[in-house]
Amino acid sequence: MKMLKDSPFNKVLPSAQEAIVLPPFVAIAIRPRPGVWEYVRVNVFELSVDHLSVAEYLRFKEELVDGQCNDNYVLELDFEPFNATFPRPSRSSTIGNGVQFLNCHLSSSMLRNKESLEPLLDFLRAHKHNGHAMMLNDRIQNISKLQPAFARAEEYLSKLPPSTPYSEFEFELQGMGFERGWGDIAQRVSETIHLLLEILQAPDPSTLETFLGRIPMVFNVVIVSPHGYFGQANVLGLPDTGGQIIYILDQVRALEDEMLLRIQKQGLDVIPKILIASVLIYSRNLKHY
């Protein structure tokens, strides 16, 4: 036992996620750190250890269930091509910080290659809600036309009082290539335009995050709300379920107020829609429900 305790196997064991026992072999899936998987096979008779590929490890699992594995008729689904061009974090410190990681990746790509700004322009031009254009219209076709349009818009907005409503200068900006969505007053529109100008000149993660947070994108929300106690029986219809309903409705009201405030600051006249998906609540006093 002491030899086993001091062996490398004892150091690997805490990282083991699952094991498949097919005498005389034990196949083990090891996760030494987030995003990294290794597979080994231990011969308990010879006390030898071999590395396994993913396909070999899956073959062990199939043999455990089916009793045999016919290599001629094995269905394999390879999802790796879907991840070929998508950035993947390699450090555990990025766990829980996916938005910051993506913003760093995007800003780095924009800094290295100016052509990577074209998808951002395409997104702003194609951004619509219920068929109504937002952000940019067809007058701005490429990045080279975007920066001069921003310069003209900034100069025009600088002459207006900061609290001027968007409706009073909407047609002037529309002629320059801009649609609703930049802000509700002149100051906020100027700030949003300035953020995008900074991204075009020197992209950085914080500026990109702030700018993307100002783009109107969320208008419809679905909330899944299972009522009652979790993992217990015969509690649906009890007072706790009613308390859960009151709680979720209060949250929905708060969410609606926040969405309305953000949409208003973006200069849009849109009513958000929030759908609550719940279970059919059973009442113990009714025979039919």
Global confidence as pTM: 0.66
Tell whether 41 and 72 lie within a shared domain: yes
Tell whether 237 and 168 lie within a shared domain: no
Q: Calculate the dihedral angle through the C-alpha atoms of 98, 100, 102, 104, rounding to the nearest 10 degrees.
A: -150
Where a domain ends, among 48, 77, 106? 77
What would the pLDDT profile of 67-106 be if each residue is shown by its tens digit? Answer: 776 666 677 777 777 766 677 777 777 777 777 877 787 7
Taking 50 as the pLDDT cut, the residues of the chain under it are 229-231, 285-289
**What are the CA-CA distances from residue 190 to residues 43, 82, 165, 244, 272 (Å)?**
69, 39, 12, 43, 25
Q: Calculate the dihedral angle through the C-alpha atoms of 120, 125, 128, 134, rounding to the nearest 10 degrees.
A: 100
Domain that holds residue 237: 220-277
Pairing of strands 220-224, 273-277: parallel
What would the pLDDT profile of 171-203 be if each residue is shown by its tens digit? Answer: 999 999 999 999 999 999 999 999 988 888 888
Tell whether 143 and 197 lie within a shared domain: yes
Residue 241's pLDDT is 61
Number of domains in the chain: 3
Q: Does residue 119 have a cis peptide bond before it, meaning omega lies within 30 degrees of 0? A: no
Tell whether 195 and 233 lie within a shared domain: no
Tell whether 209 and 224 lie within a shared domain: no
Residue 85 lies in a domain: no
Residue 87 lies in a domain: no
State the Cα–Cα distance between residues 175 and 216, nearest whole angstrom. 21
Tell whether 60 and 141 lie within a shared domain: no
Order of all β-strands in the sheet with 25-33: 16-22, 25-33, 36-43, 48-52
Contacts of 88 (CB under 8 A, 6+ apart): 35
State the Cα–Cα distance between residues 267 and 169, nearest whole angstrom. 12
Residue 134 lies in a domain: yes
Where a domain ends, among 195, 214, 233? 214
Tell whether 147 and 203 lie within a shared domain: yes
Of 270, 273, 272, the closest CA to residue 180 belongs to 270
Q: What is the CA radius of gyration of the chain?
A: 29
- % the chain with pLDDT above 90: 27
**What are the CA-CA distances from residue 20 to residues 12, 33, 36, 63 (Å)?**
16, 21, 19, 10
Q: Can you give the CATH number for the domain in which 18 is found?
A: 3.10.450.330
